[in-house]
Amino acid sequence: SALAQAPVDFTSSSAVSMAMASETSSERMVVVVLGGPGSGKGTSCSLIQECFGCAHFSTGELIRAEIEDASSGFGRSIQELVASGRLVETKTVLKLLKNAVHRAKRSAGVLLDGFPRTVDQAVLYEKEGLPLPTHVIYLDVPRKVLRERILSRGAKSVKRRSDDNPEAIEKRLNDFEQQNQKLLEFYKAHGKLHVVDGTMPPAAVGERVKAILSGRASSKL
Q: Tell me the mean pLDDT per 10 residues along the chain, length 221.
A: 38 42 58 95 94 91 87 82 82 89 90 90 90 95 95 76 79 92 94 96 96 82 55
Question: What pLDDT does 161 receive?
Answer: 65
* Count of Cβ atoms closer than 10 Å to residue 122 Cβ: 25
* Count of Cβ atoms closer than 10 Å to residue 53 Cβ: 13
Question: What pLDDT does 116 receive?
Answer: 92
Chain CA centroid to CA 121, Å: 11
Whether pTM > 0.85 for this model: the answer is no
Question: What pLDDT does 218 receive?
Answer: 65
Beta strands in the chain (DSSP E): 29-35, 54-58, 109-113, 135-140, 193-197
Q: Tell me the β-bridge partners of 136.
A: 32, 193
Question: What pLDDT does 50 receive?
Answer: 95
Question: What pLDDT does 194 receive?
Answer: 97
Question: CA torsion sign, 211 to 113 to 23 to 10?
Answer: positive
Question: What pLDDT does 28 receive?
Answer: 86
Question: What pLDDT does 163 receive?
Answer: 66
Question: What pLDDT does 3 receive?
Answer: 34
Question: What pLDDT does 129 receive?
Answer: 85
